[in-house]
A and B are shown apart, each in its own frame.
Chain A
Amino acid sequence: MLRTEIYIPARRRDVVSLVILLLFALLLGRFFFLQIYRYEKYSLLADANRIRMVTQPAPRGNILDRKGEILAANQSIYAISVIKDELIDEDVQMDMMEKYLDRDKRDLQQNLKKYYQGRFLPALIARNVSIAKLSLIEEHNNELPGVFSTKLPVRFYPNVKNVRASHILGYLREINNSELNAMKEGDYVLGDYLGFQGLEKLYENRLRGVKGAEFRQVDALGREVGILIDREPIASSPGENLHLTIDAGLQSRTESLLEGKRGAAVIINAETGEILAMVSKPDFPLIDFSAGMDLDKWQSYSTDESRPLLNRAVLGLYPPGSSFKLITTIAALEQGLVDDKWSVQCTGSYEFGDRTFGCWREDGHGRVNLSRAIVESCNVYFYQLVQRMDIDTWAAYVKLFGFGSPTGIDLPDENDGVVAERAYMNKKYGRWGWAEGSLLHLAIGQGDILVTPLQMAQFIGIVAMKGDQYRPKLVKKKTKDRVVRIPIKSATWRTIHKMTFDVVNKRGGTAFDKELAASDVSAHGKTGTAENPHGDPHAWFVGFAEGKGETIAISLIIENGGTGGSTAAPIASKLIKSYFRVGDATLAADL
């Protein structure tokens, strides 16, 4: 059987040999492709496998006032992290930590789930652990393998001069998943904090700094097997400091004068647009937000009907009241509709059509000319004056001073306000739904006119500078802003300055202040008492003061505070006096 001869043609051998060679060539070609052609790609992949980057947090930039006082800085808090793989009995250890940390076990477990990134990676389970509780954990670290403490930088507020500045500075919030996904750039990770309100939000990119990194070699299970020697760690670089235009002393003084009230105040350097103080009350201590807030506290803030989280200075919308008579006056003077000789008889009320419009002084002002009408704030005079102009003419002057549009301040949100024009009124009430009588209301700052305290401050600043408009700002800039010139005749400015001066300096003026009148500070103002549907009228004061080569503009509102003259004006004069150090020296010493 073995003897069976075989004849195999050479061609058959060659075919088989060729197939073998082709198969080997295929393999070799594939290796060439992977090892030579794609070498770079796979080298990077292999490095990505073995190198773990451990990020080092960057300290956030400090926030300072105009004189260099620190308003917001950083401090370290302690946090407890857990490496799941090293836990021996997760349930028992969680029970122990519940006891030592005095936190709900479910919260700890929820955090572990939320921050879990892998069996061998630390996951944060408790933030802001006090030293006392931390030492309890450290004491029992034999029984708690896999539990570690770490340091985290968080915001800290030194409260120099008791400044809170809650709404200006704003607060940070832990980044959430959807924000993280929407983020196109930046090296944010889950658990990072992100500016969520105020300047912290707007200047997030300047404040946050650049994270550092350390490189560690890890094995396939993710266990660290040492620090890499062939890769230098990258040091974190702290964020930029933010120098504000805020004057900590004035800010603090304003905050304390508004304490216990609802309202807002804005004080601007009229010559530059720099905001010296911006207060909204009620406010909140920022430290509550610095290391994460529990739900109950958040609930109490967000449901408080006095709305402490709202920055009333830029988001609050109010009827401006009588302070708006200044604009009506400017419009009338510019249009040549009035001079000081023209006068009306105020009997305390005015009949227009089938309606009666009242003056605040029910027994009437008697014969009133323009100066008296401003100084004593006579409504009846303005009811008659405004009938000489068209609603759109009036609205054009209102808008000229920036009402109805954002001021452009460097804060994340700002309200536009509302300015009634013919088109607006037609749209809101229908072509025949509103009467010319509406204009009578608008003339004294009531009705379909809503403004923010910041817009009022900007307006009175323009008046102070006789037409120069600066964009209000909170952060100092090296470059000078472009000035917008509002075209108003200088005669008009003279008249307005004279009248607003009398409001403060002339006995009988609604904001008369003896000390200011006697001082060398030249203070001007106009009060307002804005009727509103929520109870007592809002008390307004807008004004400016020149002295020591400086000009500041003030806008101040106390919600439901009564009349501007009795509530708002005294606070404003105190602010002017303490800024220019007039009168009581102890007040000035605060600054």
Chain B
Amino acid sequence: MNFYKKLQEAPLHWLVLVFILNGFGLITLYSISQGGASFSFSSRFVKFLFWFFPAFGAFFFFLAIPKRLIHEYSYIAVVFAFASLFLPYLTDPVAGTYRWISMGSVNFQPAEVMKWLVVIALARYLSDHRLQLKKVQSLFVPIIAVMIPAGVIAKQPDLGSAVIIVAPLIPLLYWVGAKPLHIFLLLAPIFSIITAFNYYTFTVWMIFIAVILFFSQSTLRVMLANFFGNVFLGLLTPVIWNSLRAYQKERVLVLLDVTRDPLGAAYQVIQSQTAIGSGGLWGKGFGHGTQTHLKFLPEQETDFIFSVIGEEFGFIAVAFILVLFAFLLLDMIQRAYKTSERFPSLVLFGITALFMSHIFVNVGMTVNLLPVKGLPLPFISYGGTFLVSCYAMLGLAMNMSIESTD
């Protein structure tokens, strides 16, 4: 199958959607850079424009590359990527973290590639026809395979990327046909840890688990192991909480009470909500966001760029962008459903899950639905390597959505 033919079958309207989103990102960046004295080639707006070249390169590369090759080299690639996670430890930390590999003027985050290589490797493992998904034991390998890189990234520390690495796991297992009970039991530990902050919620949750287990027709041994495993995790909660860094704890606490520390941990959240809320229906207009231009809003080009859109262009633009994203993701799901082979369907679905978690975590954080994580918004936030990564994922997704005839 030649590339031209492939291109004809590709869902190119995804590109149109993404260009519109890019357009919003660029307009917003341009508005932000207007705060400076005059237009210059060193402004982030111009720098960002140049990043579209490698981004398109990556897009076409991952669109053109045969699926067979991707399938074949996925395990090797993920091992190499895993090894590269340790490269930053060879250099000095950047801002106290070991997230970045510096290559000249470009900083590169190994975790950025790791997240979709993990998705591909998972897809390969789960697409093996010998896998008996009805058995809970089959789920252990993918869980461990995801937890190890996630743990390393969390130690860098980059909790946001670690969450993103783990995020596609459960959706992929569901998509490939794991039993809902197993998925519930996989998710249960997370809830056990969270609910254990309060005696009553923990009790209610434990009763809920017990009821589910009782009707699950499992053996008594499995039921007891699951139940007491969760109790044990709940008891571990204080240990886990204490192992968090102070700023991470603060971010969680701010979620519960935004007035907690208005000049510290909650500052970003308060300023972001203020920017968005004061934008109203129609926004304050291009270049007129006071929260943005008087620099009350932090990280406005990257993590909080959606707050700038909310402030300057209002609810109308916010709704429009969210609808575009939803439309793109739902169409990707539909394509994954239509695909007749396991591996491409799983890769496509996994990438959709990656985009979804990025969008939900980033946008949710600007309106204090989720704690602040340093995660950018796909196709809109400033950030060169992230843009390249997003286009690579898009190319990959498009590639997978095309039925191969070879």
A: residues with CB less than 8 A from B are 1-6, 8, 10, 12-13, 15-17, 20-21, 23-24, 26-28, 30-32, 34-36, 38-39, 41-43, 45-47, 49-50, 217-221, 225
The winner among A12, A39, A42, A225 for most chain B CB atoms within 10 A is: A42
* CB <8 Å contact, B274 and A46: yes
A sample of 17 more A-B contacts (CB under 8 A), given A6-B342, A42-B276, is A6-B345, A8-B336, A17-B333, A20-B330, A26-B369, A27-B360, A27-B363, A31-B310, A34-B276, A35-B314, A36-B315, A46-B275, A46-B296, A49-B274, A50-B290, A50-B291, A219-B294
Nearest A-chain residue to B346, judged by Cβ:
A6
* Distance of A30 Cα from B277 Cα, bound (Å): 10
Given known contacts A27-B322, A39-B280, A41-B277, A6 and B356 CB-to-CB distance under 8 angstroms? no
| Residues in A neighbouring B71, C-beta threshold 8 A | 1-2
Beta-carbon nearest neighbor of A48 in chain B: B274
Distance of A25 from chain B, by nearest CB (Å):
9
Q: Which of A20, A24, A221 contacts B295 (CB 8 A)?
A: A221
* Chain A residues, CB < 8 A from B334: 13, 17
Query: Contacts A6-B345, A34-B273 known; A220 to B278 CB distance under 8 Å?
Result: no
Please tell me if the beta carbons of A12 and B175 are within 8 angstroms of each other in the complex.
Answer: yes
Query: What 9 A-B pairs are tightest by C-beta distance, nearest first?
Result: A42-B277, A46-B278, A220-B295, A6-B342, A219-B294, A35-B315, A13-B337, A34-B277, A42-B278
Q: How far is the CA of A49 from the CA of B129 in the complex (A)?
A: 60
In whole angstroms, what is the CA distance A23 to B360 when docked?
Answer: 7
List the B side residues contacting A10 at CB < 8 Å: 337
A456 to B258, CA, bound (A): 65
Q: Which residues of A are found within 8 Å of B344, using beta-carbon distances? A: 2
List B residues 359-406 near A (Cβ within 8 Å): 360, 363-364, 367, 369, 404
Q: A17-B333, A49-B296 are in contact. Are A31 and B318 (CB under 8 A)?
A: yes
Can you give 9 contacting A-B residue pairs, CB < 8 Å? A1-B71, A6-B127, A16-B174, A20-B326, A20-B329, A30-B369, A36-B281, A49-B290, A49-B291
Which of B276, B326, B343 makes the CB contact (< 8 A) with A24? B326
Q: How far is the CA of A30 from the CA of B370 in the complex (A)?
A: 12
A1 and B343 contacting across the interface, CB-CB below 8 Å: yes
Give the contacting residue for A4; candidates B127, B360, B369; CB below 8 A: B127
Chain A residues with Cβ under 8 A from B330's Cβ? Answer: 17, 20-21
Contact (Cβ within 8 A) A49 B294: yes
A50 to B271, CA, bound (A): 12
Within 8 A of A (CB), among B286-328: 290-291, 294-296, 310, 314-315, 318-319, 322-323, 325-326
Pair B341/A3 contact, Cβ less than 8 Å: yes
Query: Smallest CB–CB gap between A265 and chain B, Å?
Result: 59
CB neighbours of B274 from chain A (8 A): 42, 45-46, 49
Q: Does A8 contact B356, Cβ atoms closer than 8 Å?
A: no
Asked if residues B364 and A27 are in contact (CB atoms below 8 Å), the reply is yes
Are B277 and A39 in contact, with the CB atoms below 8 A? yes
A5 adjacent to B329 (CB under 8 Å): no
With contacts A1-B127, A13-B337, A20-B329 taken as known, whether A50 is within 8 angstroms of B296 at the C-beta atoms is yes
**B6: interface (CB < 8 Å):** no
Are A2 and B278 interface neighbours, CB within 8 A?
A: no
Taking CB as reference atom, which chain B residue is nearest A50?
B290
**A residues less than 8 Å from B337 (CB atoms):** 8, 10, 12-13
Task: Give A322 Cβ to nearest chain B Cβ, in Å.
Answer: 71
Contact status A24-B325, CB under 8 Å: yes
Q: Can you name the residue of chain B whose Cβ is closest to the Cβ of A32?
A: B315
Q: Which residues of B contact A36 (CB under 8 A)?
A: 280-281, 315
B positions within 8 Å CB-CB of A: 67-68, 71, 127-129, 171, 174-177, 271, 273-281, 290-291, 294-296, 310, 314-315, 318-319, 322-323, 325-326, 329-330, 333-334, 336-337, 339-345, 349, 356, 360, 363-364, 367, 369, 404
B319: chain A residues at CB < 8 Å are: 28, 31
CB distance from B291 to the nearest CB of A (A): 6
Chain B residue with Cβ nearest A23:
B360
Q: Assess whether B291 is in contact with A46, with CB atoms less than 8 Å apart.
A: yes
> How far, in whole Å, are A45 and B280 apart by their CA atoms in the complex?
13
Q: Are B277 and A35 neighbours in the complex by a CB distance under 8 Å?
A: yes
Q: How far is the CA of A27 from the CA of B404 in the complex (A)?
A: 37
Give the one of B314, B323, B326 with max A CB within 10 A. Answer: B326
Chain B residues closer than 8 Å to A4, beta-carbon distance: 127-129, 341-343
Q: How far apart are A36's CB and chain B's nearest CB, in angstroms?
A: 6
Q: Which of A8, A10, A26 has the most CB of B within 10 A?
A: A8
Of B271, B349, B367, the contact of A31 (CB 8 Å cutoff): B367
Interface hub of A2, A5, A20, A35 (most chain B Cβ within 10 A) = A35
Q: Which residues of A sit under 8 angstroms from B340, Cβ to Cβ?
A: 5-6
A2–B319 Cα distance when bound, in Å, is 39
Tell me how far the C-beta of A15 lies from the nearest C-beta in chain B, rounded to whole angstroms.
8
Provide the residues of chain B in CB contact with A50, threshold 8 Å: 290-291, 294, 296
Q: Are A2 and B296 in contact (CB under 8 A)?
A: no
Q: Report B-chain residues with C-beta under 8 Å of the C-beta of A49.
A: 271, 274, 290-291, 294, 296
B336: A residues at CB distance < 8 A:
8, 13
- A213→B337 CA distance, assembly (Å): 65
A217 to chain B, nearest CB (A): 7
Q: Are A28 and B322 in contact (CB under 8 A)?
A: yes
If A6-B345, A24-B322 touch, whether A45 touches B278 (CB-CB below 8 Å) is yes
The CA of A5 and the CA of B344, in the complex, are separated in Å by 11
Chain A residue numbers with a CB within 8 Å of B349 are 16
Q: Are B279 and A35 in contact, CB atoms less than 8 angstroms apart?
A: yes
Query: What's the least CB distance linking B120 to chain A, in Å?
Result: 13
Contacts of B67 in A (CB 8 A): 2
Chain B residue, CB-CB nearest to A49: B296
Which residues of B lie under 8 Å from residue A218 when comparing CB positions? 294
Q: How far is the CB of A3 from chain B (nearest CB, A)?
A: 7
Instruction: Give bound CA distance, A405 to B401, whole Å.
Output: 99
- Specify which chain B residues have a CB less than 8 angstroms from the CB of A26 in the assembled complex: 369
User: How far apart are A120's CB and chain B's nearest CB, in angstroms?
Assistant: 13
Tell whether, in the assembled complex, residue B341 and residue A30 are in contact, meaning their CB atoms are under 8 Å apart.
Answer: no
Chain A residues contacting B281 (CB-CB under 8 Å) are: 35-36, 39
Residue among B278, B315, B333, B344 having the largest count of chain A Cβ atoms under 10 Å:
B278
Q: Whole-angstrom distance between the alpha carbons of A42 and B369 in the complex?
A: 17
Q: A17-B330, A35-B279 are in contact. Are A42 and B356 (CB under 8 A)?
A: no
Measured between beta carbons, the chain A residues less than 8 angstroms from B315 are: 31-32, 35-36
A220 nearest CB across to chain B (Å)? 4
Q: How far is the CB of B405 from chain A (nearest CB, A)?
A: 12
CB of A16 within 8 A of CB of B171, answer yes
A30: which B residues are within 8 A, CB to CB?
364, 367, 369
Q: Using Cβ atoms and an 8 Å threshold, which residues of chain B touch A6? A: 127, 176, 339-342, 345
Knowing A30-B367, A36-B315 touch, does A21 contact B326 (C-beta < 8 A)?
Answer: yes
**Docked complex Cα distance between A225 and B67 (Å):** 57
Specify which chain A residues have a CB less than 8 angstroms from the CB of B325 in the assembled complex. Answer: 24
For B72, the closest partner residue in chain A by CB is A1
Report how far A247 CA is from B349 CA in the complex, Å. Answer: 96
* B181 vs chain A, min Cβ distance (A): 15
Separation in Å of the A10 CB from the closest CB of chain B? 7
Min distance, Cβ B163 to any Cβ of chain A, angstroms: 15
Contact residues in A for B280 (Cβ distance below 8 Å): 35-36, 39, 43
Which B residues are CB-close (under 8 A) to A225? Answer: 294
Query: Distance (Å) between the CB of A443 and the closest chain B CB?
Result: 71
> In angstroms, how far is the closest chain A Cβ from the Cβ of B327?
10
Are A220 and B294 in contact, with the CB atoms below 8 A?
Answer: yes
B367 contact set on A, CB distance < 8 A? 27, 30-31, 34
In the bound complex, residues from chain A placing their C-beta under 8 Å from that of B404 are 2
B266 to chain A, nearest CB (A): 13
Docked pose: A518 CA to B129 CA in angstroms: 136
Q: Which of B294, B319, B322, B345 has most A Cβ within 10 Å?
A: B294
A30's nearest neighbour on chain B, judged by CB, is B367
CA distance A43 to B349 in the complex (A): 41
Contact A8 B277 (CB under 8 A): no
A116 nearest CB across to chain B (Å): 16
Residues of chain A lying within 8 A (CB to CB) of residue B296: 46, 49-50, 219-220
